[in-house]
Structure 1
């Protein structure tokens, strides 16, 4: 009898004509709610991006939007029963809201019901923000930064206790960085939106990985906030397929925001999407999208800020104490300072301890004892009027340029060939800006075409090209930092190789670097490389040295020297090159390159898009 009642209800409650139902199912908003995607841009939407049976009410709902709509209408009008949280109205509040607005004749049947779980989760959520974490070269998953959603809680003034919604790949345990990159690019991971306490996110990014967080407050009306909350509830813990370059955290968040009518994901029509570029993309599409931008400094930023406030004797005392720690801390220099400088010095030592995790059980007992001494001495003094974190004021700077590049290089010798460079992502040592790790490089998918007039050929394909310098804050004036690089693709290992020696290769090394503030960096490292034509492998060993100068925000230069010796071919490869970059505008720069070994000079113009 209940089954018969439900069948009769379906016949009378859905739109009277099949064409009406099909028209409703093809509405863009229903496609957004079901995450139905077109197999080809511009084609009729096909299957849903979500492949979790818990998200669908029709047996074939993942592949048929009309059947899912029909099943949703029927389930919405079914009796509530003793478990309201399992009812369709409570599981899919965003669907209910939209259907009620589209089918006024069914308003009584689509009226909301009490949903204990959703109502409790929804309660007190008063706003939403996007949180952006800076890029992190120690983890391939965060090469391009990370972005997630946070909901404000009107009942709790401490935002660390607010809830965040994070989209990311799951079940990656045990996979190496190389395996992660391959599987991430090929869609080898499931991913889902998971609810995470914001204090955990702040600890992971700000304390463990030392990455600053930027919070972009979304300007949403109450109705749009309700739509966002309702749909977030629907997709929590539902499985998607993760793709590193496009269907990543940035795209899925834009897609989620589209339930507010923003059309951000629809406009993200390039084959790759970079989390770090997401705020600027939103800002360009809607300059009024954000009501405010807040800064959450990492432990490293807090320590650097505190250290920069020390001057004279207090700064000298800091270096003396740290140099002597942990066994023989020179506390005498502290006692001779005025009270305000003692407070500032001890606050800086506390920040240093947090930055270096000196109080953690993973450290030696001597370091733990030293850190306890710092805390006890600070507790013996009066409290300061302001905290280090509360004193940091920083204004968000949108990236200096778009993330992709196409350039033409013209040699200043008529007999030489021209080059066209296409770089989908992301930055090199000369065009990295304030949003990127200092003195770093991250290039992926870079192609170089070489030729004249109508005769062009692929000269180089750099699948990945990463240079990283440890961004730790130097504690001593001439402290050396770690530096590493890895490069892989097809082409020449060095410009001095013959054109016939273009083959698949991979190279890398680890060494030391020194930097002076944010203007000058020198690094040197041993290199190892393998090049193969898939019949035999040629190993190479050598060295690389590099000097990078950031003279002004518009002018930068580098000097590179590289030496490689082939152990099988007994040949020597060298690269001696000077590169200079001058910024003309947000989307244009010019570069002059001098290949010292080949005695060639070239002029390049680059367009960023």
Structure 2
């Protein structure tokens, strides 16, 4: 017995010496100062963005990379018996895991929990005499997910949710499955049900960090069902040129982040930003963080990946709604109504009808769409789908479905915009500049963006009035705080409501003076063809010009977008005041020279009873960045 105690004592002493030797070697090599170690800890400026205590072994590990490195090495040599399973992990959401969560101590040992840390440190230190640990849970998940390559998934903007107005990004881990739909998607999101949350509360807490975020892993087909079908969002799949080893490193780090809570900020520390860490783990030579310092929106992250040269290929998946709209363009009105009736369960005769194949294919898409939107109950949908499939099976060869892919999102202009221009106001000339923080307006080129949508934050415009002297020369032309517009096209099968909400300061109320305004209106839009659409809005407007006032605006607009280069917007707005009325004619023209560089011309003519007409003209250059 005494011999065994002595042996155990010397074994502990030897183990401590071994550990200390590795710590000394790590210090000599300055491993805690290396970029890859900081990425593993999600550190910028020597402080981690993660505060969850379960992510660190050292008490000050979130701000002391050397202490965390030493504590991690000690944890690698910890005995299995002394491992404690964090209670938070066992109570965490099962969505984070693909296979049932383990309750074995071995699976929570540092050698199993922190695979990416071990890979990095072992490359330099070549650890020996480590405890024998079976990482059963990790191995089962790795085998099941089987990551081989990586793809960025970008669902386009969804105007029905404040959290999705800029789009979204996920990371797809492709496996050996014949269909990538069976692969798994890595998602980072705020831990909140936005459909049940008060919109104002959700926006406030999202902007100021009131929610925690978390990584999750789900089958790709489930996320497609949510984005592509339920929310009618097109999907861009952007393949990355990562090797299988680099993709394995991503999976190892995702494993380290399971059940870890991370602060979520809607404007910067969001779904897109938190994918940067995974990509930089895979390839430390890239630096995606360098392109962002005040806000991160999903499309901009795609442009950053493009600049870092990690994009291999781009694919397009149309939403279910766009598939249906394809048939709407292809079939006549009578055929569309027949398809709609079949989709809702009516029995109709098709014996003398042309385009039977297209009608049945459309009815199949429509019935599923109505079920997703809860216009059909499950039992109804199953009966209808079976009836359509039975009719369709007798017609042999499928229809030649060819939905043209739009121009790639990677060809779009970036969101921030700077303008320099010459301005003419009633024959008095000057020059000015304009800046917009984000993101896209109706008068911007639509390539890569959702047609008929506008989301603008913090747009300001100033000019020098040559007719005045001193400080009075500098005039604020516009100071837009926020603008959101959605012009959904009315057709035979869909009748969306168009709307526009905006607030800020401009010079459009009765006289050439800056006034605060807030407006919100609804209306309708109609596509004349693939390049031209019109809209009408009824807009009550509250404004303050010397005193608070109200006016009612009637706006009629026409928008033209060529396939690539030319964008024209014409709008007539009639404003009914209490005793007066006025009209505003607006014309905007832009020509895209190359990506992120446009020439533009704008004209605004104001006609008010109490003031002589006023005409403002601007011409200049737009730079997007």
Specify the TM-score bucket, using the shorter chain as the normaliser: 0.7 to 0.9
Check conservation: 2:551, 2:577, Cα contact below 8 A: yes
**Take 2:105 and 2:264, find their aligned partners in 1: how far apart are those partners?**
33
Of 421, 428, 433 in structure 2, the residue corresponding to residue 415 of structure 1 is 428
> How big is the shift at 1:21?
6.5
- Report the alpha carbon displacement of residue 324 of structure 1 after superposing the two structures with TM: 6.1
Q: How far is the alpha carbon of 1:439 from its aligned partner?
A: 1.8
Question: Any idea what the Cα deviations from partners look like across 1:232-281, whole Å, max 9, x if unmatched?
Answer: 11113322222222222222112210002242323323422221233332
Is it true that 1:344 corresponds to 2:358 in the alignment? Answer: yes
Pick one of 527, 542, 566 that aligns with 1:555.
Answer: 566
Taking only aligned residues, the RMSD between alpha carbons, in angstroms, comes to 3.4
Partner residue in 2 for 1:271: 294
C-alpha change, 1:297 and 1:578, in structure 2 (3 Å) is: closer
In the alignment of these two chains, the number of paired residues is 578
Distance 2:197 2:429 in 1: 45
Q: Give the secondary structure class of the aligned counterpart of 1:249.
A: coil
Q: 1:319 — aligned with what?
A: 336
Out of 473, 476, 499, the position equivalent to 1:484 is 499
CA contact (8 A) 1:257 1:264 kept: no
1:293 has 2:289 as partner:
no
Instruction: Measure, in 1, the Cα distance between the counterparts of 2:80 and 2:535.
Output: 68
Which has the higher mean CA deviation after the structures are superposed, 596-605 or 508-517?
596-605
Deviation at 1:427, TM superposition (A): 1.5
Tell me, what secondary structure is at the counterpart of 2:169? strand
Q: Name the SS of the counterpart of 1:463 in structure 2.
A: strand
Report the CA distance between 1:442 and its aligned residue.
Answer: 1.5
Residue 526 of structure 2 is aligned to residue 526 of structure 1: no
- SS of structure 2 residue aligned to 1:144: coil
> Does structure 2 retain, via aligned residues, the 8 Å contact 1:409–1:603?
yes
Matched, 1:465 2:459: no
Task: Report if aligned partners of 2:463, 2:476 keep a CA contact under 8 Å in 1.
Answer: yes
- 2:611 equivalent to 1:595: no
1:292-347 alpha-carbon deviations (Å, 9 max, x no partner): 3333322123223445555xxxx465134157678996834x21257xx4223211
The equivalent residue for 2:594 is: 585
For the pair 1:101 / 2:123, whether they are aligned, the reply is yes
Matching of residue 302 in structure 1 with residue 323 in structure 2: yes
Answer whether contact 2:162 2:199 (CA < 8 A) is retained: yes
Tell me which of 536, 545, 551 is aligned to 2:556.
545
Question: In the TM superposition, what whole-angstrom CA distance separates every residue of 1:12-64 from its partner, at most 9, and x where no partner exists?
Answer: 413464992692211111100000122xxxxxx2x211121211111221222
Structure 1 residue 189, shift from structure 2 partner = 2.1
Distance in 2, matches of 1:71 and 1:257, equals 25
Unmatched tracts of structure 1, length 5 or more? 39-44
Displacement after TM superposition at 1:421 (Å): 0.9
Cα contact 1:443–1:465 (8 A) shared by 2:
yes
Matched residue SS, 1:335: coil
Note the C-alpha offset of 1:168: 1.2
2:87 corresponding residue in structure 1? none
Pick one of 105, 110, 116 that aligns with 2:136: 116
Aligned match of 1:42: none
Instruction: Report how far residue 98 of structure 1 moved.
Output: 0.6
Where does residue 449 of structure 2 map in the other structure?
436
1:181 alignment partner, one of 179, 200, 203: 203
Instruction: Look up the match of 1:24.
Output: 31
Task: Find the aligned partners of 2:344 and 2:161 in 1 and give their Cα distance.
Answer: 34
Q: Which of these residues, 143, 150, 156, is aligned with residue 134 of structure 1?
A: 156
3-state DSSP of counterpart to 1:596 = strand
User: Of 184, 190, 198, which aligns to 1:169?
Assistant: 190
Q: Whole-Å Cα distance in 2 between the matches of residues 86 and 369 of structure 1?
A: 45
Map Cα deviations across residues 378-431 of structure 1 (whole Å, 9 max, x no partner): 25514435785xx55637612332222110231245624433110121121122
Distance in 2 between residues matched to 1:68 and 1:400, nearest whole Å: 42
Matched, 1:37 2:44: yes
Alignment gaps of 5+ in structure 2:
82-103, 607-613
Which region of structure 1 is more displaced relative to structure 2, 110-119 or 516-525?
A: 110-119
Residue 412 of structure 2 corresponds to 400
Once the 2 structures are TM-superposed, how far is the Cα of residue 572 of structure 1 from its aligned partner?
5.0
1:97 Cα deviation from its structure 2 partner: 0.6
Question: Which of 455-464 and 277-286 deviates more?
Answer: 455-464
Give the C-alpha shift of residue 527 in structure 1. 1.1
SS at match of 1:129: strand
Find the aligned partners of 1:3 and 1:576 in 2 and give their Cα distance.
89
Q: Deviation at 1:144?
A: 1.3
- Rounded Cα–Cα distance in structure 2 between residues aligned with 1:515 and 1:298: 18
1:525 & 1:401 partners in 2: Cα distance? 27
SS of residue paired to 2:281: helix
The secondary structure found in structure 2 opposite 1:430 is coil
Partner residue in 2 for 1:41: none
Give yes or no for contact 1:358–1:371 (8 Å, CA) kept in 2: no
In structure 1, what is the equivalent of residue 93 of structure 2? none
Distance change >3 Å, CA 108–CA 351, structure 1 → 2:
same
Give secondary structure in 2 for the equivalent of 1:599: strand
For residue 303 of structure 2, what is the aligned residue in structure 1? 280
Change (3 A) 1:118 1:367: closer
Counterpart in the other structure of 1:576:
585
2:572 and 2:36 mapped to 1: Cα distance? Answer: 56
Structure 2 vs 1, CA of residues 360 and 408 (structure 1 numbering), >3 Å: closer, same or farther?
closer
Q: Give the superposition deviation at 1:5.
A: 7.2
State the distance in 2 between where 1:369 and 1:30 align: 53
Alignment partner for residue 280 of structure 2, among 242, 245, 258?
258
Aligned 8 A contact 1:447 1:461 in 2 = yes
Identify if the C-alpha distance between structure 1 residues 232 and 560 changes in structure 2 by more than 3 Å, giving closer, same or farther. Answer: same
> 2-side partners of 1:525 and 1:158: how far apart?
44
Q: Is the 8 A contact 1:21 1:66 kept in 2?
A: no
Q: CA deviation at 1:513?
A: 1.6
Question: Contact 1:217 / 1:291 at 8 angstroms: preserved in 2?
Answer: yes
Corresponding residue for residue 19 of structure 2: 13
